[in-house]
Amino acid sequence: MQRRVLMVMAASALFASSNVFAEAGDWMARVRAVNIDTHNSSSPVAGVAVSSKTIPEVDISYFFTDNISAELVLTYPQKHDVSLNGALLGTLKELPPTLLAQYHFMPGSPFSPYVGAGLNYTIFSSVNIPGLDVSRSSTGGALQIGVDIPVNKNLSINIDLKKVYMKTDVKTAAGAYVTTLKIDPVLFGVGLGWKF
């Protein structure tokens, strides 16, 4: 029992001595594997949905102070299936850059949680849905909660959860309105961060 206590104390001291967390003027880059869990709803035509998937994600953060940073979240255009009541209609790609302002509650600690809020701008492209089209952009809010956990002086493990508000109008190929599709995904990501 005493040996376990000593091991826990030694591990705590190691984490406490590491200085992975960014300070004012620092940059941090993260790479994550992100599961996009779409929360589809459509009206007045119900049952239109965009598929969920797992994607790579990269973000770059700049720290204005020890507590306050801005994060730009990036990926490349992601292909999704579009369906109606489970029947495949076609595919489209979406590119969703997101800019977030973050507050870090415990900078310099061995467990650094943060929250963020900001704006998402999604571009829809490569629409391949016979007889239909969609609006090519969407602007909506984004909310975030996450934590950085140190590995060494410059490297951290990151766990991140975001809610992004995203929608598009579905139209006929001639441009007549059909329905509004709210995608509103929840994004859960795990990855690594580097301070520089």
Return the domain boundaries, the chain. 2-195
Confidence category of residue 137, pLDDT binned at 50, 70, 90:
very high
Q: Where do runs of H (alpha helix) occur along 43-89?
A: none
- Domain 2-195 falls under CATH 1.10.3720.10: no
pLDDT of amino acid 14? 35
What value does the mean pLDDT take over residues 7-24? Answer: 44
Mean pLDDT of the chain: 90
Q: Which residues contact 52 (CB under 8 A, 6 or more apart)?
A: 35, 36, 37, 38, 185
| Amino acid of residue 146 | G
Q: Six-digit token pair at 83?
A: 């369906």
pLDDT of amino acid 21? 57
**pLDDT tens-digit map of 138-183:** 999 999 999 999 898 889 999 999 999 999 999 999 999 999 999 9
What number of residues does the chain have? 196
The closest of 62, 160, 49 to 112, measured between CA atoms, is 160
What value does the mean pLDDT take over residues 91-110? Answer: 94
Quick check: 53 pLDDT over 90? yes
Are 163 and 183 contacting, i.e. CB atoms less than 8 angstroms apart? no
Quick check: 7 pLDDT over 70? no
Q: Which residues on neighbouring strands pair with residue 144, listed in sequence order?
A: 116, 162
Q: Which residues on neighbouring strands pair with residue 115, listed in sequence order?
A: 103, 145
pLDDT of amino acid 9? 35
Q: What is the pTM of this model?
A: 0.84
pLDDT of amino acid 131? 96
**pLDDT tens-digit map of 70-85:** 999 999 999 999 999 9
Distance of alpha carbon 33 from alpha carbon 106, whole angstroms: 25
| Amino acid of residue 16 | A
pLDDT of amino acid 108? 77
Quick check: 10 pLDDT over 60? no
Q: Which residues on neighbouring strands pair with residue 136, listed in sequence order?
A: none
Q: Six-digit token pair at 11?
A: 């591990």
Are 20 and 150 contacting, i.e. CB atoms less than 8 angstroms apart? yes
